[in-house]
Amino acid sequence: MTDRQRGSSIVEFAVLGSLVFGVLVQTVVLFGVLHRATLATSAAAREYGRAVVVADSPDEASTRSALVVEQAARNHGLPPGSLHATVEGQRARGELLRVHVRTDVAIFRIPFLGDVWPSVSVPVEATHVVQVDRYRSGP
């Protein structure tokens, strides 16, 4: 071993080790963000269905459902407007309503700086089926 190459493995280990550690930390953070989005979408779908079923009119159902979706996003630390909810079915006695909530989670994100590549994202979706009460009076 020559004197010029002495200690180069320590420098290589420090540089490569910090890069690998950074990627590992970013991966763990990404899984945490994905889990948070999964919890938010499932909670929003459940509460959206409940709000639609309990409402007395279609206008009240749309108002309540918008509020509960935004509250679910806020409670799970997501930005306003990040959850998109739709409902399939009619509000009639005994009918089944299928609620679908979706959001996109950016993969390449640097903490405190934001999205590096905003077009690359993972869709997170949740579906909840709720039945309108058979004895519920409707308009």
pLDDT tens digits for the chain (139 residues)? Answer: 556 666 678 888 888 999 999 889 888 988 999 999 999 999 999 999 999 998 888 899 999 999 999 999 999 999 999 999 999 998 888 899 999 999 998 887 776 777 676 678 899 999 999 998 888 766 5
Distances (CA, A) of 54 to 20, 57, 61, 118, 138: 51, 9, 8, 38, 10
Residue 55 backbone zone (phi > 0: left; psi -120 to 50: alpha; other: beta): beta
What are the start-end ranges of the H helices in the chain? Answer: 8-54, 58-75
pTM (predicted TM-score): 0.79
In terms of Cβ atoms closer than 10 Å to its own Cβ (0-12, 13-18, 19+), residue 126 is: buried
Choose among 51, 28, 27: nearest CA to 99. Answer: 51
Predicted local confidence at residue 41, as pLDDT: 96
∠ CA 74-79-80, nearest 5°, is: 75
CA 60 – CA 54 distance, rounded (Å): 9
Choose among 57, 51, 43, 34: nearest CA to 107. Answer: 34
- What six digits make up the tokens of 54? 């309990």
Q: For residue 60, what are the contacts with CB-CB under 8 A and spacing of at least 6? A: none
